[in-house]
Amino acid sequence: MVTKSINELEEGVMLEPQFDKRDGLLPVAVQETSTGQILMLASVNEEAFKKTLDTKLATFWSTSRKQLWTKGETSGDLLQVDNILIDCDQDALVYQVTLLGDGVCHTFDTKGNHRKACFYRELDINEHRLKFIKDMK
């Protein structure tokens, strides 16, 4: 595909995600549509992004397993993609999603349920220690 000018990239309406610029992987913030809560951060390659567009189910590239990863494919905790945002220079994404299952995190809370979000701890900036966010322990 012909490389777009910076102005076209930033002010245009053509989708041109800059995979090459980022060695094939763009970061994605996954945000719950209804609450604005950030559930996880992940990466997509071009194939994962295309599969997400085709299926409207959040699909990533697993950097640890080095394979395509449709979130919830095995657990059933799929993420329906409601909306995708792209940034000014088209090298970062936001997936706004609805949880079709319990949550996105592989960890369990003290009640034995998968946590809804991977971001369940916040930092005490002065003490440099973590504390669990209310109801996410």
Q: Which of residues 32-71 bind a second copy (CB under 8 A)?
A: 35-38, 40-41, 53, 56
Three-state DSSP state, 73: coil
**How many whole angstroms separate alpha carbon 57 and alpha carbon 136?**
25
Q: For a second copy, which is the closer residue by CB, 64 or 74?
A: 64
Question: Does position 24 bind a second copy by CB under 8 A?
Answer: no
**How many whole angstroms separate alpha carbon 86 and alpha carbon 117?**
22
Q: Could you tell me which of 13, 20, 38, 37 has the C-alpha nearest to residue 28?
A: 38
Q: Which of residues 96-125 bind a second copy (CB under 8 A)?
A: 105-107, 115, 118-123, 125
Question: Does position 31 bind a second copy by CB under 8 A?
Answer: yes
**How many whole angstroms separate alpha carbon 114 and alpha carbon 106?**
6
Question: Does position 87 bind a second copy by CB under 8 A?
Answer: yes
Amino acid at 69: W
Q: Catalog residues that contact a second copy under the rule CB under 8 A.
A: 10-15, 27, 29, 31, 35-38, 40-41, 53, 56, 81, 83-88, 92, 94, 105-107, 115, 118-123, 125, 128-133
